[in-house]
């Protein structure tokens, strides 16, 4: 029977099943006996067995050493284990020590370049330093934070690794590292670059550099730089069209610069400006003003009517469900002193006088007092001239009191002169005080023009006077729209 040669027997011995791990089943073959029959002694057979063993490769050994630094859960190997196995691979001691240094991975050259760009490793002249000086405008003061806390400081973490030494160890010299560092990071965005250029913060060469570093193809650079010039928005063109500064065709051309279609410009135009106010519409109806005319408004005969009023409300910010209630309050009623005069003269009944004042929102207790006073029986009819003089004094007293020219005592004395009932004089004065709080002297034409030119703040809106508001105020004073526009342009 033939026996196994010594090398085969040693290889099988290195791979046989042991108590610790399952391997090749020798099926009862005595490998040491086969070796002796081949004239190989026990010690030499042991050496052949060790030579036949398979060990982890160099890369695997390096990884296993690195795993050991993570702790026992990572099941790495010690340095002694590494050296022993490397020696079994046939490496010299000096080579083993050199290879062991590879257990510490270096950063890749791209990581080094990015770390330099972001400041996480020293710059050491690889990239230009950031200029720390920012000049504040004259008179500028930094306001405190909304929470009044000092500015937060977020430190930059920098690790003491020499980027040049690290990259050189990877075969990259200083010049090539500088190229990679300059390739890292991005410049400000395109819009920010154009804004910086317009503010004269950078020159055109810097703009070109920003275009290149932003990965924009250079063939697009010239067209991109033409976007430097600002164009008005479509709503701004629509507003200029509305105010007559440009024509419809010019507005459509301008809107097209930002992609607005003619149909969209027409809608923007219709959404600009404001119609006449409800009170102005009531006045137009009462004075039988003509219908509004303009693009998109059908021509109609007759004078200003409910349809025109409804259109004005629809074009304002008032919801259309309030059209009917507003139209129902279009009529005006005489002031308190005029109602009182009509009642006392017997032209209207106290009930009618109460109804008229109730429609002007006088309080129930005021209406009750007035109706009670009106219902008292009067004495002999005075001479018409005396009544006329009394009425004139009443009117003068009322006007002087409203204008703060008389105090309560003086007004009481004047009312007693015309034999007003002492019991109702306090009520009358309270009513006049209420009227005084409501009365506001209207602005003159000159005051309106001055407020528009400065421009001053419109007390009703809280914003500077607009042309539309000035024109509306002038027309309320009786000027035609054309005369009002001419007056403002003088």
**Contacts with 86 (C-beta within 8 Å, 6 or more apart), sequence order:** 58, 61, 95, 96, 99
- Residue carrying the six token digits 């977020």: 154
* Per-residue pLDDT, 399: 83
pLDDT tens digits, the chain, 490 residues: what are they?
789 999 999 999 999 999 999 999 999 999 999 999 999 999 999 999 999 999 999 999 999 999 988 888 888 999 999 999 999 999 999 999 999 999 999 999 999 999 999 999 999 899 999 888 888 889 988 899 999 999 999 999 999 999 999 999 999 999 999 999 999 999 999 999 999 999 999 999 999 999 999 989 999 999 999 999 999 999 999 999 999 999 999 999 999 999 999 999 999 998 888 889 999 999 999 999 999 998 778 899 999 999 999 999 988 888 999 999 999 999 999 999 999 999 988 899 999 999 999 999 999 999 999 998 888 766 555 677 888 888 889 988 988 888 777 889 999 999 988 888 888 999 999 998 888 777 666 677 888 888 888 888 876 777 888 888 888 888 877 788 888 888 888 8
Nearest partner of 116 among 57, 182, 43, 26, judged by Cα: 182
Query: Angle 262-270/234-242 helices, nearest 10 degrees?
Result: 60
The answer to whether the beta carbons of residues 420 and 378 sit under 8 Å apart is: no
The answer to whether the beta carbons of residues 161 and 168 sit under 8 Å apart is: no
The burial class, CB within 10 Å (0-12 / 13-18 / 19+), for 177 is: buried
| Rounded-to-integer distance, Cα 225 and Cα 206, Å | 12
CA distances from residue 316 to 140, 271, 313, 323 in whole angstroms, order as listed? 42, 10, 5, 11
24: DSSP letter: B
CA distances from residue 20 to 17, 24, 61, 370 in whole angstroms, order as listed? 8, 13, 22, 118
| Rounded-to-integer distance, Cα 14 and Cα 406, Å | 126
Query: Angle 336-344/384-402 helices, nearest 10 degrees?
Result: 160
* Per-residue pLDDT, 23: 93
Q: What would the two tokens of residue 436 be?
A: 């005084």
Sign of the CA dihedral running 333, 334, 335, 339: negative
The answer to whether the beta carbons of residues 342 and 394 sit under 8 Å apart is: no
* Per-residue pLDDT, 96: 94
Provide the b/e sequence for 256-282 (b: ≥16 CB within 10 Å): eeeebeeeebbebbeeeeebbebebbb
CA distances from residue 342 to 338, 374, 394, 397 in whole angstroms, order as listed? 6, 11, 13, 18
* Per-residue pLDDT, 381: 59
Instruction: Give alpha helix (H) positions in 22-173.
Output: 31-37, 42-52, 58-68, 79-88, 93-100, 109-118, 163-169
- Residues for the chain: how many in total? 490
The answer to whether the beta carbons of residues 183 and 113 sit under 8 Å apart is: yes
The burial class, CB within 10 Å (0-12 / 13-18 / 19+), for 448 is: buried
* Count of C-beta atoms within a 10 Å radius of residue 251: 26
The answer to whether the beta carbons of residues 362 and 355 sit under 8 Å apart is: no
* Per-residue pLDDT, 80: 94
- Residue carrying the six token digits 């009862």: 28
Q: Mind spelling out the 3-state secondary structure of 64-78?
A: HHHHHCCCHHHCCCC
| Rounded-to-integer distance, Cα 283 and Cα 288, Å | 8
pTM score: 0.53
């Amino acid at each position: 029977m033939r026996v196994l040669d010594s090398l085969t027997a040693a290889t099988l011995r290195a791979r046989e099943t042991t108590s610790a791990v399952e391997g090749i089943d020798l099926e009862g073959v005595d490998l040491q006996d086969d070796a002796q029959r081949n004239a190989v002694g026990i010690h030499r057979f042991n050496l052949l067995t060790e030579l036949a063993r398979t060990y982890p490769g160099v890369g695997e050994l390096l990884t296993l050493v690195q795993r050991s630094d993570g702790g026992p859960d990572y099941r790495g190997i010690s340095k002694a284990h590494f050296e022993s196995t490397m020696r079994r691979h046939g490496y010299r001691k000096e080579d083993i020590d050199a290879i062991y240094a590879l257990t510490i991975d270096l950063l890749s050259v791209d990581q080094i370049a990015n770390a330099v760009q972001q400041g996480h490793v020293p710059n050491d002249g690889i990239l230009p330093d950031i200029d720390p000086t920012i000049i504040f405008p004259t008179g500028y003061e930094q306001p405190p934070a909304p929470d009044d806390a000092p500015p937060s400081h977020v430190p930059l973490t920098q690790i003491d690794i020499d980027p040049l030494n690290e990259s050189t160890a990877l075969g990259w010299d200083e010049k090539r590292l500088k190229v990679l560092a300059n390739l890292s990071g991005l410049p400000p965005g395109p819009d920010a670059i154009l804004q910086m250029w317009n503010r004269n913060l950078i020159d055109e060469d810097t703009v070109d550099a920003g275009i290149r570093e932003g990965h924009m193809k250079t063939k697009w650079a010239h067209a991109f730089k033409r976007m430097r010039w600002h164009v008005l928005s479509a709503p701004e063109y629509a507003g200029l069209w509305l105010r007559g500064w440009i024509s419809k065709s010019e507005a459509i051309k301008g809107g097209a610069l930002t992609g607005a279609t003619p149909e969209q410009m027409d809608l923007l135009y219709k959404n600009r400006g404001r119609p006449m106010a409800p009170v102005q519409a009531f006045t137009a109806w009462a004075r039988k003003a003509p219908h509004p005319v303009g693009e998109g408004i059908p021509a109609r005969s007759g004078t200003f009517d409910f349809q025109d009023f409804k259109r004005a409300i629809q074009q304002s910010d008032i919801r259309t469900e309030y059209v009917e209630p507003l139209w129902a309050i279009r009529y005006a009623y005489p002031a308190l002193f005029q109602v009182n005069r009509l009642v006392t003269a017997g032209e209207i009944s106290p009930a009618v006088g109460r109804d008229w004042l109730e429609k002007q929102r006088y309080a129930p207790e005021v209406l009750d007092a007035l109706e009670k006073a009106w219902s008292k029986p009067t004495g002999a009819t005075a001479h018409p001239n005396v009544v006329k003089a009394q009425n004139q004094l009443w009117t003068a007293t009322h006007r002087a009191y409203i204008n703060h020219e008389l105090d309560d005592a003086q007004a009481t004395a004047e009312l007693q002169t015309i034999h007003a009932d002492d019991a109702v004089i306090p009520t009358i004065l309270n009513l006049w005080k209420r009227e005084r709080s409501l009365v506001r002297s209207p602005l003159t034409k000159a005051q309106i023009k001055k407020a528009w030119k400065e421009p001053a703040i419109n007390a009703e809106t809280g914003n500077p006077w607009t042309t539309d508001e000035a024109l509306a105020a002038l027309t309320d004073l009786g000027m035609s729209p054309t005369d009002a526009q001419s007056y403002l342009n003088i």
